[in-house]
Structure 1
Amino acid sequence: MIEALASLSAFDKAALSRVETAPVSKAALSAAPGLGVAPAAGSPADFGEIMAQFASGVRTSLRTGEATAIAGIQGKATAQQVVEAVMSAEQSLQTAVAIRDKVVAAYLELSRMAI
């Protein structure tokens, strides 16, 4: 599974920097507390930075969940630690898939608009 995470590099800042976006205000970020991302002090975050930070967090969560599961198999982690790590990784993955689906749907809707 860790090898499959290499495909997440498509969400890196370099890949997303080609997209022109409007800055996101701090109020908009505070309205979405589940993101876990905050802009730097005094400057608005752009969409590419937010998505890169989110993808990095998802990747870290998945790696932690898998490492904890392996540690549990080896007897180095308790069942509770394994379940918590795996559930956190699953929630992160489900959130990432939902965001991806929304972005794809928005792109498809924009591409169908008549100019």
Structure 2
Amino acid sequence: MINPIEGLGLFTKQTDGVSGDNTAANVLGTAVNAATTAVAGPGFGDVLGSMATDAINAVKGGETASFAGIQGKANTREVVDAVLQAEQALKTATAFRDKIVSAYLDITKMQI
């Protein structure tokens, strides 16, 4: 005869959060808690914020190098490198913005 699901010990209630039994639910709960606490890195907003700051700094660096090149204080190679780096940062930021807007629009189209 097949044992009922309740007999497997998967659906036990924890009363104090720390239990001595090693049922599958407790082991799974402990693994989920460990995985949750193991991810202590920066959040998504922090990553996007630092990325935006880096892009702004790259564009400012390109502008500064351009002005220095106009004044004759920087050689052409330095100006070109700084401007190309600023252009790449701007393209990356624009691509991220487009992907985020596209994902937002996809989410708003989902049926509830």
Deviations 1:3-44 (A, max 9, x none): xxxxxxxxxxxxxxxxxxxxxxxxxxxxxxxxxxxxxxx822
C-alpha distance in 2 between matches for 1:44 and 1:87: 31
Deviations 1:47-82 (A, max 9, x none): 000000000000000000001001000000000000
Moved over 2 A (4+): none
User: Which runs of 5 or more residues in structure 1 are unaligned?
Assistant: 1-41
Percentage identity across paired residues of the two chains: 43
Is 1:68 the counterpart of 2:69 in the alignment? Answer: no
For 1:1-115, list aligned pairs within 5 A.
43-115=40-112
**Cα drift, residue 45 of structure 1:** 1.4
User: Which runs of 5 or more residues in structure 2 are unaligned?
Assistant: 1-38
The TM-score, its normalising length taken from structure 2, stands at 0.65
Aligned residues: 74
Secondary structure in 2 matching 1:95 = helix
Higher RCO by CA contacts (8 Å cutoff, separation 6 or greater)? 1
Larger Rg: 2
The TM-score, its normalising length taken from structure 1, stands at 0.63
